[in-house]
Amino acid sequence: MSAAVLATLEFAVDASAPDAPARTLGHRLIDPEAPVLTVLDLAATRGDGIFETLSVGRGAPQALRPHLDRFARSAALLDLPTPDVDAWVAAIHAVAAELAEHDEAFIKIVLTRGVEGGSTPTGWAYGAPSPDFSAARETGIAIVLLDRGYRHDVAQTSPWLLAGAKTLSYAINRAAQREAARRGADDALFTSSDGHLLEGPVSNLIVRHGDLLRTPPVQHGILAGTTQADIFGWAEARGYTTRQETLRAADLADADAAWLVSSVRHAAPIRSVDGVARDVDADLTTEINAFLTARTR
């Protein structure tokens, strides 16, 4: 039996004001393996929607507000209706409650433009126990640098490229992960066409030099990392200095330690870059992941 949980959001369009955004009525827990989408849903035909993936620790959604804030920013970038925060919080808590027996679980929330030509979005929250990431957390990950093809300033010059929005159009992110695997690596780190380090396909980069932790700036068309932000808050309270700053390959090569951080895998120390081994900070990694896993909000 699957331990997965699915809540679908329910929306209504006011017949007297068909151009007004659909209202969110609430959610409904249903069989997670039931077909719920038609082949006309723009999620399926155009990747035209947004998502967030949250971690859940013994029933507590982690970094919930930052995820919902980013969800709303993605919606704005795609001209989707503004998510009804209360309705999404209720759906997320309903799914999380079903996962309370698990130390680590995750919930993916999705909002799509709905059926082509219609005015009702589609939304759901899908939760399940997390896979076991202990190998990545303890041994570390081998990564390769892959060109994302865009200049670092593309979010400012060309907003229709949706840099910084977390959309369902992730075919390139998946292709980058397959390219990494082809090269014998575990994950990829995107670079801009003008040589800036950006982010992983589903993660943010953190590099450490002494007591300084740095991550690339969101202005470079990357997602504002919710896990990265929580790590920076934790680290500042322990005396680290943290900064968003332009980083290049040399900054990664000479860092004392580096991680790809994300909501479900948490902090995965980088043990090699393009086949060149690099140091892993096992103690700090253990501390960070203990902090991340124990979060109650």
Q: Per CB under 8 A, does 239 bind its own copies?
A: no
Contact call for residues 3 and 126 (beta carbons, < 8 A): no
Token pair, residue 138, equals: 């303890």
Contact call for residues 230 and 67 (beta carbons, < 8 A): no
Amino acid at 170: Y
Q: What mask, x for binding its own copies by CB under 8 A, covers residues 52 to 81? A: -------------------------xxx--
Phi, psi (5° rounding) for residue 276?
-95, 120
Q: Among residues 169 and 286, whose Cβ is nearest to its own copies?
A: 169
Closest separation in Å from C-beta 110 to its own copies: 7
Question: Cα–Cα distance between 36 and 29 in angstroms, integer?
Answer: 12
Q: Per CB under 8 A, does 37 bind its own copies?
A: yes
- List the one residue from 82, 156, 158, 241 that touches its own copies (CB under 8 A): 158
Question: Cα–Cα distance between 7 and 18 in angstroms, integer?
Answer: 26
Region from 30-38, 60-68, 205-213, 244-252 binding its own copies, contact rule CB under 8 A: 30-38
Q: Per CB under 8 A, does 179 bind its own copies?
A: yes
Closest separation in Å from C-beta 144 to its own copies: 10
Nearest to 7 by CA among 25, 24, 32: 32
- List the one residue from 100, 149, 236, 241 that touches its own copies (CB under 8 A): 149
According to DSSP, the β-strands at 122-129 and 187-191 are unpaired
Region from 42-50, 222-230, 243-251, 259-267 binding its own copies, contact rule CB under 8 A: 42-50
Nearest to 114 by CA among 26, 35, 14, 9: 9
Question: Which spans of this chain sit near its own copies (rule: CB under 8 A)?
Answer: 6, 32-49, 51, 77-79, 108, 110, 112, 124, 126, 146-151, 154, 157-162, 165, 167-176, 178-179, 193
